[in-house]
Every structure is written in structure tokens, then in C-alpha cells.
Amino acid sequence: MDRPIRGIRREHADRGLRESQVDPDPFKQFDAWFDEAVRAGLLEPDALALATVGRDGKPAVRMVLLKGYGPRGFVFYTNYQSRKGRELLENPHAAACLWWAELDRQVRIEGTVEKLSADESDAYFHTRPREAQLGAWASEQSSVLAGRQALEQQLKQFERRYADQPVPRPPHWGGFRIVPTAIEFWQGQPRRLHDRLRYRRQPDGTWLIERLAP
């Protein structure tokens, strides 16, 4: 029998989200919400649940960090040989969600995916802490490890290789951009009558705002 989960339901605040309150440009609306999440001091407001689908049709989801956004889309970085990397190269479509519990908000993103240019990936890689740069070389992401010691040995190998010199970006590591076809702004409301406004990209590049039932 399934274990029931009871007694942890909470009521959402009455903040509301009306069509008259949002910007006609979804990226400007996202900018406003993201800034509010940062000002509220939320833990990792850039945490993004990313869903992909492999060649076998089976979905997978995991958390990544949103590392940039703008009119072209939403950017994150990964190992191209990881499961998500392989799946995105095989099937360049993704869905993603940011959840800001303290604000009773989520943003849902759906769209196609494109690789960033080598120059864009290089520029971001060189802003990372040196330890993270070395980690990108040491980790064969998503592969099976014999144990923790094997990973630490690989890290030491690359620490020796790049001692006293800049760490180059691994050719198998870089960025992806989700180019959205739809962006939904979800605002929790009392009685589970949540406000949902979806921006849907039209053939001429403009955005249609639609209210969805909760």
C-alpha cells in the first residue's frame, strides 16, 4: 500500500497575477521575477529543473544552474557526453522549470535547444573557479565509477597536468541554450485557484499571452 502524505499542505498567499500586470515581452517579465527572487534572498534562485528525452523515448530530469538569459533564450552548461548532453544532441528539445517556493512562483519553459558557440563556452568557462575548471576535466559525467577514489585520482592527474598554467576548456564541455516556444508564469493562489499566464511564440516572432486553468 502507498504511504499517504498528509498534514503538510499549506495555503498560498493571495498575490495574484493579472494580464494587466505583466510585460508583453516574456523575457522582461522573467527579468522582473528573477530580480525579485534574488532580492528576496532565496537559496539558489538560478536552480533549474531540466527535462530531456532520449532516443528511447524515456524522459529524465535533473537540476542544473541557469547561467544566462535574454531574448535568445536560457543558457546552462554541462558535459556534452553526459546523459543530458547526449540526449539534447540526439533530440534538441527540452522543458525546464524554476521553483521559488517562498514567492509561491514557478516559471516553466519549453523549446528547442542549440549548442553555444565555442567562443561563448570559452568565455564562461574562464570565469569559473579553478577547482570547477579542473573538475570538468576529471569527471566523465554520468559514467559508472569504481568508487570515489577513482574520481579523486582523476582530479589529481589533471591538477598535475595543468599545474602553474591556465586550465583550457575541455572540448566535451560547454553550453546549451533553450530557445523557448512557450514560457509560463505561475503564481500560487488560495484555494488552489492558481494564476497561470503562458506566453506562446507566434510564427511572426511575437508573443501571445494566454490564461490557463489551474
Do 71 and 81 touch, CB atoms closer than 8 A?
no
Rounded average pLDDT over 138-156: 94
Do 186 and 29 touch, CB atoms closer than 8 A?
no
For residue 46, what is its C-alpha cell?
538560478
pLDDT grade for 12, boundaries at 50, 70 and 90: confident
192 is catalytic: yes
pLDDT grade for 124, boundaries at 50, 70 and 90: very high
CA distance 28 to 124: 23
CA distance 41 to 71: 25
Catalytic residue among 192, 196, 200, 201: 192
Q: What is the pTM of this model?
A: 0.94
How far CA 133 is from CA of 54, 125, 183, in Å, comes to 27, 7, 32
pLDDT in tens, 174-208: 999 999 999 999 999 999 999 999 999 999 999 99
Rounded average pLDDT over 97-121: 98
Nearest to 87 by CA among 50, 64, 54, 60: 54
- Arithmetic mean of pLDDT over the chain: 96
Rounded average pLDDT over 139-151: 93
CA 139, distance to chain mean position in Å, is 20
The pLDDT score that the predictor gives to residue 192 is 92
For residue 36, what is its C-alpha cell?
525579485
For residue 73, what is its C-alpha cell?
533564450
Strands 47-53 and 93-100: antiparallel
Do 75 and 177 touch, CB atoms closer than 8 A?
yes
> HEC profile for the chain?
CCCCCCCCCCCCCCCCCCHHHCCCCHHHHHHHHHHHHHHCCCCCCCEEEEEEECCCCCEEEEEEECCEEECCEEEEEEECCCHHHHHHHHCCEEEEEEEEHHHCEEEEEEEEEEECCHHHHHHHHCCCCHHHHHHHHHCCCCCCCCCHHHHHHHHHHHHHHCCCCCCCCCCCEEEEEEEEEEEEEEECCHHHCCEEEEEEECCCCCEEEEEECC
Pick the more confident residue, 107 or 14: 107
Would you state the CATH architecture of domain 19-126+171-212? Roll (2.30)
> Is the model's pLDDT at 14 over the cut of 80?
no
Ordered by start, the domain boundaries in the chain are 19-126+171-212, 129-168
pLDDT in tens, 40-89: 999 999 999 999 999 999 999 999 999 999 999 999 999 999 999 999 99
